A = this chain, B = another copy of it.
Amino acid sequence: MFDYDEKIDKKIEQLKDDMIVYAKKLVSFPSVSGNELGAQTYVKEVLSSLDFNHIDMWEPDIDKLKNHEAFNSGRTNFKNSPNVVGTKKGIGGGRSLILNSHIDIVPEGNLNEWNYDPFGGDIANGNIYGRGTSDMKGVNASIFIVLKAFQEIGLKLKGDIIFESVIEEETGGAGSLACVLRGYKADAAIIPEPSNFAICPAQQGGVWYRITIKGKAAHGGKRYLGESAIEKIPQFIKKIRELETYINDEYYSDLYEGNPIPFCINIGKVNAGNWPSAVPDSAIIEGRIGVPPNSTLKEIRKLFEESIEKVSEEDSWLKHSKPDIEWFGVSWPSAQIEVNHPIVELTRKCYKTILNKEPLISGTPWGADAAVLTKYSGTPTLIFGPGATAHDADEHIPIDSLLIFSKILACIILDWCGFIN
């Protein structure tokens, strides 16, 4: 396909040990939200060594973010949580590409469930183990060796490469939003979240809801004097299921073909009442609504509110004592780009070149930062990455998958950005 195919593939394979060193080092930092400084300092050093022209490391200013409609964070400042964005200027005449990867990880959870040190980067069974290996520090190492391969071969890109190592993806996306507001944009972006090599031009969003049902307390031995908030719950469950069916019909996308419920409304938590022999005067239901790629947070919230209003209208008690709805916690917008967008077509072509088979083109079942880039910086963004696990104990990624990803990415970059040798 390219003149340099074989040479680059070989170089990437030679850099396998470098890749493992990068990955192990990245995994060694427990970079949960609020503790990203060490990992980001290391990323900055690596970018320097890879001849990035400009490296921008800054703590996002919450005052500049907080009024944005996509802002979504429980933090009051981003002290010790810098973003790092490296720009590798091309020689001109090519297309620019953002590679966006989050440095924050979720906590390691219960250590008893791990067979490996979550921060050890142990290698076994052909995998690297540790929190963030798959989501998504391992893939940073894949990216680094592609750029190192280009460097060692002496290959120069025409278009710019912008590498964004962002904070806060796991907790609402403020890191990527800060990059957008700082002006970073490109002709396309790839976020190598763990899609298991599925090419995802569509990203599902998600939004949390809380319904508070109000009843009337009474002694349980005279329950007829009260109004049970718990016994209203079945009406809400029924209506939520009807809404889920409606949303899946109304926002049907063939990117989710074969998925039994592409856009789930989960009912995750119920807390109601406080004494076995008292009629419960309150029931709180919390859950998450999947936001289809071709809808908006606003539309979905409105549909949900209308459904809950219908429950109230149909119940003589709730009609006069209406439940509260809160949109709390996190929300991720959804987004999609055209299925035949050039970056999608190119990724598909490179996947086939390296793996000699057709890729899966689909939508993500979860939220990530792609929507922020697509919607607010005008950068058409694709999710496509090698990982397949996330957030579990014994998180890991196969070393072979990282090398395959490097090869596919090299193919994409060379075509997208153009190059001279």
Contacts and interface: CB of A to CB of B under 8 A. Distances in A.
Nearest to A269: B273
A221 B264 contact: yes
Interface of A is mostly: mixed
A329 B223 CA distance: 19
Nearest to A284: B270
Copies of the polypeptide in the assembly: 2
Nearest to A210: B276
A305 interface: no
Contact of A365 (B222, B271, B278): B222
A74 B223 CA distance: 26
A233 interface: yes
B277 A223 contact: no
Contacts of A270: 230, 233, 270-273, 280, 283
Contact of A268 (B237, B280, B286, B288): B280
Nearest to A234: B234
A209 to B, nearest CB: 8
A329 B283 CA distance: 22
Given A268-B275, A269-B274, A271-B270, A288 B220 contact: yes
B221 A206 contact: yes
Given A233-B233, A278-B266, A219 B261 contact: no
Interface residues of A, number: 44
Interface in A259-309: 260-261, 264, 266-280, 283, 286-288, 290
Nearest to A225: B260
A277 B276 CA distance: 27
A228 B274 CA distance: 22
Given A221-B290, A365-B222, A237 B237 contact: no
Interface string A342-383: 000000000000000000000001100000000000000000
Q: Of A204, A209, A220, which is in contact with the most chain B CB atoms at under 10 Å from its CB?
A: A220
Interface string A210-252: 1000000001111110001011011001100000000000000
Given A208-B276, A277-B208, A221 B288 contact: yes
Given A230-B237, A234-B234, A280 B275 contact: no
Contacts of A277: 206, 208, 266, 268, 287-288
Given A276-B288, A286-B276, A287-B277, A224 B260 contact: yes
B237 A266 contact: no
Interface of A: 204, 206, 208-210, 219-224, 228, 230-231, 233-234, 237-238, 260-261, 264, 266-280, 283, 286-288, 290, 329, 365-366
25 contacts: A208-B276, A208-B277, A221-B288, A221-B365, A222-B264, A223-B264, A224-B264, A228-B267, A230-B268, A231-B267, A233-B270, A234-B234, A266-B276, A268-B273, A268-B274, A268-B275, A268-B276, A268-B280, A269-B274, A270-B271, A271-B272, A273-B286, A276-B286, A276-B329, A277-B288
**3 closest pairs, A vs B, by CB?**
A220-B266, A234-B234, A277-B288
Given A221-B264, A266-B277, A269-B280, 8 more contacts: A220-B288, A221-B290, A221-B365, A222-B365, A223-B266, A231-B267, A234-B234, A269-B274
